[in-house]
Amino acid sequence: MAEKNSRTPGYLAHEHLRPGQAEMIEEAHQVLTQRGSHIACAPTGIGKTAAALSATIDAAFSNPEKRTIFFLTGRQSQHRIVVETVRSINARRHGTQSKIKLIDIVGQQSMCIDEIRQEFSSIFARLCADKRKNRHCRPYTQEVDGLRLKVLNEPLHVSELIKVSRSYTEEGSSKAACPWKVARESASGADIIVCDYNHLFNERVRDASLNAMGIDLSEVIIIVDEAHNLPTRITQGMRRVLSDDLLLSARLEMEEHIETLEDHEKKGGLETKPEMYVQLRAAKAALGRIRADFSAFFRTQTQALYREKSEEMRIANQVIVNLFNSALASEISGNALTLNQLAQLISMVQVDIDPDVDEEKETASERLSELLFLLSRLGDNHALAFVYSHGKGDAPRLTTHLLDPGIVSGPVFEEAAGALLMSGTLSPPEMYGELLSLPKSRPITSEEYPSPFLSDKRPVAIASGVTTKYTRRGASNTEKIREHIRAIAAEAPGHIAVFTPSYALLEEIIGGGVWHGRRVMMEESGWSKAKIDSLLRDLEMSRSAGEKILLAGVFSAKLSEGVDYQRNLLDAVVCIGLPLAPPSEELKAKKDYYEERFGSSNSYRWAVQQPAVNALMQAMGRPIRKMGDRAFILMLEDRLLMPQFKRLLPKNMNILTVASEESTRRHVKRFFKRHPEPAIGDE
């Protein structure tokens, strides 16, 4: 560990540092000056955003070479927090300190000020590209150097940047400009860029973004917010599905694309080279052969599943690669294509889609080309698994599963100028260092900072005698769980949240229950950001009106991870059960891969146990957004008292054990007698 408080940080958002902040700033700064990586398990409440910015700004400014900080976050709410923190840092500058310049950027469609922003995403992408290519988008063609200077002069949240770009004038005339273009072109002059994970960890987006920004990855210091989500974001982003319907649709789209080119040419449009037609027709023929071969393959695998009385099975990588290569090699015209060439040709296909008919946000060609690019790159790598499934009511399908996110993230961290990964649940830190392949050729440090849960205002209780373990479920167990929830519902003066491992359990335990007059707000799969924002407003207004709400959600979904319940909106959180991943071929493949790469002692823990406990920790942290917040935390799962799971909880967490709902009620009643009022302030 670095020597604590060995220097005075140059850039701070606040005059006084909170417990843990000084240590995090110093430890991160020391390793970043050596182009290394720091893993900070830093719970909400210690001010990790301010600490991360202080450390990285100091490291960037002390380096004689150009450095740009990329603050990566998957949450829109965090964008605003970063902007406000940088404003506070700028307000506290002294002497000759430089003003911090920041650019906040989100997706192109979300920043668009043209009417096409309302279109289906796939249609928008095509219309936007056409408008820019043909110079028909006036905001995009607008050259406004003064606007770039303006947005760099004062840190702006993306909504403010859009407003400034839309209303910008020069010499009395309107010069509304494309906010997305303004942000990207201003980025080279910024010290900090706030954006989504995809800007660095999606190869296609990274290459386009950094090139447009004029920034080299070797100059970038990376901050990854909520870094526990990064492995899953990477692996889910590489998930692709192959089906008969996809292959048929892609072939029809290729046919439509060729006909459109021919029709365009007949009407005097740009001429397509004859060799391009040859290649496109070869691709169309190849798609027909691939579909025929995979139809036969799917029938064989479905019969095998029927014999095994199963719904899924893992398929060897080489079997899939051979199927594609065999279909491509059987071209009799002499125009055989490689897998990568086929992917390139399919990615060029442009067709219109009807958003009222098509459920997918991408064309079949876009989805298939991504799958083929993935297969071309990783087809022979056992970190990529293929699972064939044909469940009840589902069409046969082949799904790709990337088992090792480090294949994507490792090269990024290796080339970057340093990285700070932070979250309240980066535990154990070495697991995330290994999963993300942080470069071992440079220093890697980690620290678990003091948890706000340890204070008197954040007691954590675990109930014995209740569980969601399948073999112990039943009416008696469910009623005991409900009794504990009723005890909290009766004594908590404000809103409470309850989280379960699945929507089915949520309905079974909470649905139809009576909870001491509380209105129940139950999460549904796929809730939008607008729905969440509306819910938060409802919670605020209900509290002001004296109405109590029981908010019910699912682990690792929107309400338990992606939402900030500010102003101490929640008085208590009840976590029911352990969200262990259910058995599947993907999980089996992951455990096998982890055992081979990380050793047998880590395989089950890292693949199954730790992710479940970390999902619990995320849910537990929902009511604690700042140091003054108070909340009672109850975990209704006695497996957490067993050594194999208890050791996965934070080492310094003080735990109460409650044996009955009467015990829960007494603890809750005493707690709110000591702390009757929520910490409504923002600090």
In this structure, is residue 219 part of a structural domain?
A: yes
Residue 365: predicted pLDDT: 94
485 shares its domain with 633: yes
Query: Tell me, what DSSP letter sits at residue 470?
Result: G
**Residue 597, φ and ψ in degrees, nearest 5:** -85, -40
pLDDT of residue 436: 98
Residue 5 falls within a domain, yes or no? no
Which 3 state secondary structure label does DSSP give 422?
Answer: strand
Q: Are 444 and 462 contained in the same domain?
A: no
Is 682 a domain residue? no
Q: How far is residue 223's CA from residue 55's CA, in Å, rounded to a whole number?
A: 10
Q: Are residue 375 and residue 280 in the same domain, yes or no?
A: yes
Total-model pTM: 0.92
Could you tell me the residue range of the domain that residue 600 belongs to? 452-674
Q: State whether 377 and 283 are in the same domain.
A: yes
- In this structure, the answer to whether residues 497 and 384 fall within a common structural domain is no
| H-assigned helices in 19-137 | 21-32, 48-61, 76-91, 108-111, 121-133
Residues 309 and 415 occupy one common structural domain: no
Closest CA to 113 of 198, 195, 194, 174: 174
In a domain, 4, yes or no: no
Distance CA 632, CA 453 (A): 10
Within-domain flag for 250: yes
Q: Residue 334, exposed/middle/buried by CB under 10 A (0-12, 13-18, 19+)?
A: exposed
Residue 428 corresponds to which amino acid? P
**Which of 320, 683, 265, 634 shows the shortest CA–CA distance to 483?**
634
- Beta-carbon count within 10 A of 407 CB: 18
474: β partners: none
The strand pair at 460-463 and 220-224 is best described as unpaired
Assess if residue 43 is contained within a domain: yes
- As for how many domains the chain has, the answer is 3
Q: Do residue 384 and residue 479 come from a single domain?
A: no
Tokens of 166: 């839309």
Could you read off the pLDDT of 247-284 as tens digits, one per residue?
A: 999 999 999 999 999 988 888 777 788 899 999 999 99
Flag residues of the chain having pLDDT under 50.
1-4, 357-358
Gap between the Cα atoms of 408 and 402, Å rounded: 10
What burial letters (b/e) apply to 270-298, b meaning 16+ CB within 10 Å?
eeeeeeeeebbebbbbbbebbbebbeebb
Residue 638: CATH number of its domain: 3.40.50.300
Partners of 220 in beta bridges: 68
> Can you give the pLDDT at residue 2?
43
Closest CA to 459 of 655, 669, 674: 655
Q: Is residue 8 part of a domain?
A: no
Task: Report, in this order, helix, strand and coil percent for the chain, each rounded to 5.
Answer: 50, 15, 35
Q: Are residues 659 and 636 in the same domain?
A: yes
Query: How deeply is 300 buried, as exposed, middle or buried, from its count of CB atoms within 10 A (0-12, 13-18, 19+)?
Result: exposed
> What's the pLDDT at 55?
97
499 shares a domain with 463: yes
Residue 313 sits in the same domain as residue 439? no
Residues 85 and 195 in one domain: yes
**479 and 617: one domain?**
yes
Burial class (CB in 10 A: 0-12, 13-18, 19+), 324: buried
CA-CA distance, 211 to 482, in Å (whole number)? 56
Other C-beta atoms closer than 10 Å to the C-beta of 510 total 22
Q: In what order do the strands lie in the sheet with 397-402?
A: 241-242, 397-402, 384-389, 312-315
pLDDT tens digits, one per residue of 377-397: 999 999 999 999 997 778 999
Q: Is residue 508 part of a domain?
A: yes
